Structure 1
Amino acid sequence: MLGGCGATPRIAPAAPFAGRRRLRELGIVIGELPTGRWNAITDVPGVRVGHVTRIEGAGPLVPGKGPIRTGVTAILPTEDVVREPVAAARFTLNGNGELTGLGVVDRSGTLEVPILLTDTSNVGRVMNGALSWLLETYPEIGDSVPVPTPVVGETWAAFLHDAEGRHLSDEHVMAALRGAASGPVPEGAVGGGTGMMAYGFKGGIGTASRRLSEEEGGYTIGVLVQANHGRRGQLRVQGVPVGQEIRDLPPHEGRKSKSILIVGATDAPMLPVQLGRLCKRMALGLGRTGAVSMHGSGDLLLFFSNGMKGRREAATSAVQVWNDEQFDRCIQASVEATEEAVLNALCMAETMTGVDGNTAHALPLERLPALFDAHGRALDATR
């Protein structure tokens, strides 16, 4: 757990998950394409992820004090995104949510800042902390480089968290950015996903990746989600209606608990218009888990390519561009990785109790083999 605003934050460690396992460790394989080394967005070279998590207090809600179930997740698209903006595009599946700082993406098709994910009430705090990090890291900002607007996405966490408290500081945000790294990504109730729910179970952060063949360039497509969406009966795992079969473990079906943030990344050299097409395909991967993108949802998607970079001081850039005639594999990779990322969030999240004793139950992984068997599906025990 992290201390208060006056304490020195630390990155939440990737501790053992008390029986929680990722989807493939359960013998459930999504799609056909191979994963990257870590089956994570960090398989895309240059992409780094950092979390800061705050889990503090218990009992009745005391607005402004707790209990606290929040955090921030930072995604750095490349080693030097301010000086080398990357190609990017976004897609709004349903717009009852917020993903700030996308004016540059819409106007120029470029992303020039890290991406941060948190809960709704902390958006302003995280934007401020991100700007503090940017000004510290890039002294040319405000001189030779315009002051950027941080990209911050949110989903609602009030079932478990003191949302009015806004319990994140500049120090928490800067710690997530400074601690961002390649390698395996902690999932579930970590970072921005700490207080989130999905399909009436405990949700949060999930990630997955797909790798193209060497003949197709050997590029990687990775996805990271902050899952806080859907109703229990909608959940499907590899086509099995798991949400309809698990009728106990009472779900919270609150009006605001239906949003998801999806971030895609690739090192394949792609134009913004191509990345926009992949954004829409990520929505198909979400749909394969049962989501219908309800009226109250904030289902916001962003895709970037660090294989298409620019230099601020350069008048022109010589780049290769992906051939649209070879686009189908990229589409398939985006769909598969999104579906698996959402399910990984559910698999890795542990049961959590928050404000007023509200409890978000973890998806009971031990029941999946019997459910699959009942629907004529077998798990791959060799995985």
Structure 2
Amino acid sequence: MVLQKGKKNCITDVEGVQVGHKTLYEKVNKEQTICTGVTAILPHSGNLFYEKVRAGCHVINGYGKTSGLVQVEELGFIESPIMLTNTLSIGPVMEGTVTYMLQQNKEIGTSAGTLNVVVGECNDGFLNSMRLQAVRPNHAIEAIENASSSAVQQGAVGAGKGMICFGYKGGIGTASRVVTASNEKYTVGCLVLSNFGDSQDALFANFPKKKNPNSTDGSIMMIIATDAPLYDRQLKRLAKRTAAGLGRVGSHMDNGSGDIAIAFTTANPSIHNVNGHLESITYLRDDDQAMNQLFQAVAEATEEAIINSLKHAETTEGQNGRVIEKAPLT
């Protein structure tokens, strides 16, 4: 059984979730091209620091430079936008996101403690002149401010502008599924930043053979959102199921691959600085029939999000005249 898609078939089908991009593209000179950007995923439209979302993460293969996951792993919360960019831009994107959050919350760093910002990356160095370090803190702020709950723009946009997938143009892709169980409906959305694989692999074996200059190692960031009432351990279990979707399209999660998943729920937020020393939440039982469907939804949405990242990306010229073509997908 294949699950029903959400109305927009994207991560913003989960109510409250917003996505924004800032795309940078400039031919600097004959050799150098800025071909990169930033993507922001906001778990809800409120104050993310004061209404933290429960979250889990899973590193399938750890050849990556993602920041902020140590605290997510330890405490099970996300309290900032989830940011995506290129490998050498983790620093400025974190700085910009911190600046944005400080502007929203005057108490951070004084009476309300510090802030944990989550930033993920993939290497776009074949098309993008990464050494120019073109992404600046203000670009992260612009991506956040551009965020909306509309259908997500996909392909060679935002953090996906310079990414390559299966030897063709990759980037941002998204999809969603609806789970109906126990007389309740829950939505699962996935957004990926795809940058891995050769066209010889699995689902794309019938493509014209085209070597990915990034090699099969590559990387992918996979962000899962849901409105199902879960807590951090269960969300980590959802994050693990992205590997099933990744395997369906032919990834081997090779030695130099950064395959990283983050899952959060808009249900059961944790309110900062609540009086009292006890907290209680309602969550799905692990053996409830909905859990298996949620796992299936993650696998299906991840697989389709990767395919959509290829379908929506356009042929792109990068540094030194390098051209990566659009995948022959309709």
Instruction: Classify the secondary structure of the residue corresponding to 1:168.
Output: coil
After TM superposition, the score normalised by the length of structure 2 is 0.94
Match of 2:308 among 344, 365, 368: 344
Matching residue of 2:298: 334
Which residue identity is paired with 1:52?
K
Residue number in structure 2 paired with 1:318: 280
| Deviations 1:114-151 (CA, angstroms, capped at 9, x unpaired) | 10000011111101111111111111111222221311
Task: State the AA in 2 paired with 1:291.
Answer: S
SS in 2 for 1:336: helix
Pairing of 1:17-28 with structure 2 (within 5 A) = none
1:20 equivalent in structure 2: none
What residue number does 1:47 align with? Answer: 17
CA contact (8 A) 1:255 1:296 kept: no
Deviations 1:184-238 (A, max 9, x none): 00000001111000111100000001112274421111100000011121141xx
Alignment correspondent of 1:246: 207
CA distance in 2, matches of 1:259, 1:51: 20
Equivalent residue for 2:248, pick from 275, 281, 288 = 288
d(CA) in 2 for partners of 1:284, 1:134: 34
* Alignment match, 2:129: 162
DSSP-derived class of the 1:356 partner:
helix
| Rounded Cα–Cα distance in structure 2 between residues aligned with 1:198 and 1:86 | 31
**CA shift for structure 1 position 323:** 1.6
Q: 1:101 aligns with which of 37, 61, 68?
A: 68
Tell me the distance in 2 between the aligned counterparts of 1:233 and 1:121.
29
Q: Deviations over 1:25-56 (max 9, x none)?
A: xxxxxx61111111111111111100000111
Q: Is residue 81 of structure 2 the alignment partner of residue 114 of structure 1?
A: yes
Residue 168 of structure 1, CA deviation? 1.3
Q: Contact (CA 8 Å) 2:197, 2:251: kept in 1 or not?
A: yes
Distance 1:117 1:257 in 2: 19
Distance of 1:285 and 1:246 partners within structure 2 = 20
How many Å apart are 1:254 and its aligned residue? 3.0
Identify the residue that residue 302 of structure 1 maps to in structure 2. Answer: 262
Using the TM superposition, give the Cα deviation of residue 251 of structure 1 relative to its aligned residue in structure 2, in angstroms: 3.2
Identity fraction in percent: 38
Name the CA shift for 1:97/1:216 in 2 (closer, same or farther; >3 Å): farther
Q: Matched residues in 1 for 2:171 and 2:227: separation?
A: 25
Report if the CA contact (8 A) 1:59-1:356 is conserved: no
Q: Which residue of 2 aligns with 1:136?
A: 103
* 8 A contact 1:59–1:357 mirrored in 2: no
Structure 2 Cα separation of the partners of residues 98 and 117 of structure 1: 11
Provide the rounded CA distance (Å) in 2 between the counterparts of 1:289 and 1:71.
25
**Greater Rg, structure 1 or structure 2?**
1
Structure 1 gap segments, 5+ residues each: 1-30, 237-241, 367-383
Is contact 1:50–1:177 with CA below 8 Å preserved after alignment?
yes
Q: What is the rounded CA distance, in whole Å, between the counterparts of 2:318 and 2:254 in structure 1?
A: 25
Query: Deviation string for 1:76-135 (max 9, x for gaps)?
Result: 112222101111111111101121012221211111111000001111110111111111
Distance (whole Å) between structure 2 residues aligned to residue 55 and residue 256 of structure 1: 25
In terms of fraction of residues, the more strand-rich structure is: 2
Matched, 1:34 2:4: yes
CA distance, structure 1, for counterparts of residue 147 and residue 59 of structure 2: 27
Matched, 1:264 2:228: no
